[in-house]
């Protein structure tokens, strides 16, 4: 580190400077320009203070969050967007360190967000097949309501279980947006598979 005086550091608008001499605790490191304190000493003091006042700090953080929830969520969202690589890497390392907890969290998230997870999988598969368009959970709900929660083909109720089908199969050039989707019961969806919609309708007697 380059040796520089505190005055010179102030003139250059720096936050830290290095004298080349140890502090009173023997640390050969930079010092803060604003008060001349040793960076390492301040860090150690901060860690010790936090350790002794952890509950107080946590309570203050909780109180602030309750009063500024919208602001906190906005800041967190902005930070995640600006640091996606870091977020993903930290998540990856956490899952490696806590495999069992990671699996349980994934299962819990899937149970609570099944429709969102399924939409994500369909969109990903469509991208891999170079299909145009995307759809959301809201689009699936819109289709269910439009179909009055009944299978397009057999009219069976879809309130307990259903599959999302691409009317024109992606493998045959169909898009992945909501206008090329229909909601079927599991049986009809398995029977249709990747068949042409007109051919399938004819095979079950709905079209001549």
Boundaries of every domain in the chain? 1-71, 114-203
Residue 139 CA to residue 162 CA, distance in Å, equals 15
Average pLDDT over residues 135-153: 96
Average pLDDT over residues 57-70: 95
For residue 78, the model assigns a pLDDT of 95
For residue 207, the model assigns a pLDDT of 79
What is the rounded average pLDDT for all residues in the chain?
Answer: 94
**Verdict on whether the full-model pTM lies above 0.85:** no
For residue 1, the model assigns a pLDDT of 77
How large is the C-alpha radius of gyration of the chain?
30
For residue 203, the model assigns a pLDDT of 92
**What do you get for the CA distance between the two ends of the chain, in Å?**
85
Residues of the chain with pLDDT > 90, as a percent, come to 95
pLDDT over 80 (residue 3):
yes
- 114-203 carries CATH number 1.10.30: yes
Residue 77 CA to residue 94 CA, distance in Å, equals 20
Half-sphere exposure of 181 (CA within 13 A, CB side): 25
């Amino acid at each position: 580190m380059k040796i520089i005086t505190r005055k010179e550091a102030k003139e250059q608008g720096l936050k830290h400077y290095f004298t080349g001499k140890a502090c009173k605790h023997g640390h050969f490191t930079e010092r803060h320009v604003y008060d001349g304190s040793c960076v390492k000493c301040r860090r150690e003091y901060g860690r010790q203070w936090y350790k002794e006042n952890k509950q107080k700090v946590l309570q203050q953080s909780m109180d602030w969050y309750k009063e500024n929830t919208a602001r906190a969520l906005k800041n967190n969202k902005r930070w995640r967007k600006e640091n996606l690589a870091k977020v993903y890497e930290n998540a990856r390392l956490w899952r490696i360190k806590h495999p069992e907890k990671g699996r349980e969290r994934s299962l819990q998230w899937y149970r609570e967000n099944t429709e969102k997870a399924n939409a994500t999988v369909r969109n990903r598969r469509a991208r891999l097949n170079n299909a145009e368009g995307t759809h959301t959970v809201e689009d699936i709900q819109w289709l269910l309501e439009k179909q009055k929660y009944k299978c397009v083909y057999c009219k069976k109720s879809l309130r307990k279980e259903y599959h999302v089908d691409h009317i024109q199969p992606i493998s045959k050039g169909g898009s992945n947006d909501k206008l090329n989707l229909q909601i079927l019961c599991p049986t009809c969806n398995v029977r249709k598979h990747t068949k042409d919609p007109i051919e399938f309708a004819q095979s079950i007697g709905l079209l001549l």
